Amino acid sequence: MKKKINTSLKYGILYTVSNAFQKGIGFFVFMYFAGILSIKEYASFGLNYSFFTVVCMFSYAGINESVIGQLKKEKNTSDLFKTANSVFVLFSLISLLIFVPVYKIIYLESSLSFVNIFSITLGAILLSFFTFQSIIVRLKEAHLHSVVYSFFPPLLGYILGFYLVFTSKESFSYFKGVLYAAFISLFVLFFFRKHFIGFSKSTKQIKLIIFSALPYIAIAFFAWILGYGNTFLINYLFDELQVATYVFLFTIASVLQLVANSMNQVWSPKFYNIFQENNLKEIEKKYGVFTIVQGAIIGLIGALIIVVFPIVASYFESFNKYEGVEFSMFFLFGGYLVSIPWWHTQNYYLIKNQGKKLMNLTLISSLFGLVLWIAMMFFLKEIGIYLGFFFQLLIKSLLVYFYGQKKWDIKFHWKGTLIGLGILLIAVWFNLEVYGL
């Protein structure tokens, strides 16, 4: 038992370190782009990257959740994993057929040809293939292979993308680098394919996974449109500067998302283990402490970014074009803090096979939040972009939390959120006093 715990801890640390290192490289690459590219070119990069992320999302959205739901029922897990790969291929083909023409239609001012859009789409699909393989082999507890799949292809994409943008000063070159990295990774996989699970032709199982995945596809789509996907709305309502600023700040905010995800990856297994013991009081007691720690850490990191950013901008003139963004940062970072109850409550929906209910609540809150966000952008102008981001996440958290509270007697755990928001407010006040912003 002790050996198993030590092994789990070892791989848990390996996942966290490898993910943090890879995302850290990506963060600095995107920050470099924000500095060297013009406002117009960086805004174009943001829109193209937003498209890239929705293709990645759709390629495997809901498949993992469907597989987890079938694990207890399916005796032959190997066939189940092969079926999941087949569904991935099907979703990827649909992505190619739908997203390429749709992107050309919704982004008319783009100078990209169909070939270029196809290249972005293909690169996204191939890269998400390795991410998906990482998820699947992790379910088989092949943790080392999982880390290899999730770490090296994206890292190679960042490196090649950075090099091509560095030499060409054109944002589209990044997606060429990602495509090259994906092909190189596939070539390497060919020689080590003995670790590859393979595919299934079982029509019955494929239909079952597709049907089960639908609620999660809807949830993932709204998560995208209320994140990077909003760049298209901003592009329609505002100018290139606001698009570039949103992409820049959203990239910075990814640091908080990384921290939150890492902490949630620690908490979720503990949640499921305690839940199996049917000890809901123990879950809520431990989470009460966890939420305070999580809120404080996210708040402190966000506050540090707010305080340090004016200093960084004063040393690197290329970032001066993004000045005066402290209040925007507050609402953007605050959005992650008000998501803490959502992250916890969704575990109840997943373990209780309430994916459809979670989808319905998410659809209702996302639609209402999206309308509110658009209204705020229209009436409040630039600050409405970030205020709307904050409130749409708050609405989603409240609706999912209060429904879950009635159904499963979930306790009120908003202390971490309030503590984190308080820390962010202190940082904004500090900047106002010191820098006079």
Q: What is the pLDDT of residue 49?
A: 93
Residue ending a domain, among 217, 242, 257, is 217
Last residue within a domain, chosen from 182, 217, 252: 217
Contacts of 221 (CB under 8 A, 6+ apart): 54, 57, 58, 61
Kindly state whether residues 172 and 84 are assigned to the same domain.
yes
Quote the radius of gyration of the chain (alpha carbons, Å): 22
What average pLDDT does the structure give for the chain? Answer: 83
Q: What is the pLDDT of residue 105?
A: 80
- Of the candidate ranges 163-172, 185-194, 231-240, the one whose mean pLDDT is the lowest: 185-194
Does the pLDDT at position 357 exceed 60? yes
Which pLDDT does position 437 carry in this prediction?
A: 57
Q: Check whether residue 91 and residue 192 sit in a common domain.
A: yes
Cα separation of 128 and 322, whole Å? 31
- In a shared domain, residues 202 and 252: no
Task: Give the C-alpha distances (Å, rounded to integers) separating 224 from 186, 200, 347.
Answer: 27, 29, 20
Residues 192 and 236 in one domain: no
At residue 193 the predicted structure's pLDDT band, cuts being 50, 70 and 90, is low
Q: How many domains does the chain fold into?
A: 2
Q: Does one domain contain both 185 and 232?
A: no
Confidence of residue 191 (pLDDT cuts 50, 70, 90): confident
Contact 295, 415 (CB under 8 A): yes
Same domain, residue pair 273 and 348: yes
Q: Which residue has the higher pLDDT, 260 or 200?
A: 260
The more confident residue out of 9 and 307 is: 307
- Model pTM? 0.83
Q: Which domain does 186 fall in, by range?
A: 1-217
Residue 1 has pLDDT above 60, yes or no: no
Instruction: Tell me the C-alpha distance between 108 and 95, whole Å.
Output: 19
Instruction: Concatenate the DSSP letters of all residues of 34-55 into one string.
Output: HHHS-HHHHHHHHHHHHHHHHH
Instruction: State the SS3 of 226-267.
Output: CCCCHHHHHHHHCCHHHHHHHHHHHHHHHHHHHHHHHHHHHH
- Helix locations, 140-202, DSSP H: 143-168, 173-191
Q: What percent of the chain has pLDDT over 70?
A: 87
Digit-coded pLDDT (tens) for 94-111: 888 888 888 878 776 667
Residues 168 and 32 in one domain: yes
pLDDT confidence band for 431 (50 / 70 / 90): confident
Same-domain check for residues 265 and 171:
no
**Would you say residue 4 has pLDDT above 50?**
no
Contact between 222 and 363 under an 8 Å Cβ cutoff? The reply is: yes
The answer to whether residues 334 and 398 belong to one domain is yes
pLDDT at 380: 94
Do 141 and 246 fall within a single domain?
A: no
User: pLDDT tens digits, residue range 247-303?
Assistant: 999 999 988 988 888 777 766 666 666 666 666 677 777 777 888 888 999 999 999
> Does the pLDDT value for residue 75 go beyond 60?
yes
53 and 164, same domain (yes or no):
yes
- Is the sign of the CA dihedral 200, 221, 65, 406 positive or negative? negative
Contacts of 60 (CB under 8 A, 6+ apart): 88, 91, 128, 131, 132, 135
Least confident of 53-62, 120-129, 183-192, 274-283: 274-283
Higher pLDDT, 245 or 362: 245
Q: What is the pLDDT of residue 108?
A: 61
Assess whether 409 and 294 both reside in one domain: yes
Rounded to an integer, what distance in angstroms lies between the CA atom of residue 207 and that of residue 165? 42
Q: What is the pLDDT of residue 212?
A: 80
pLDDT, mean of residues 15-24: 81
What is the per-residue pLDDT for 2? Answer: 47
Residue 5 confidence (pLDDT): 45
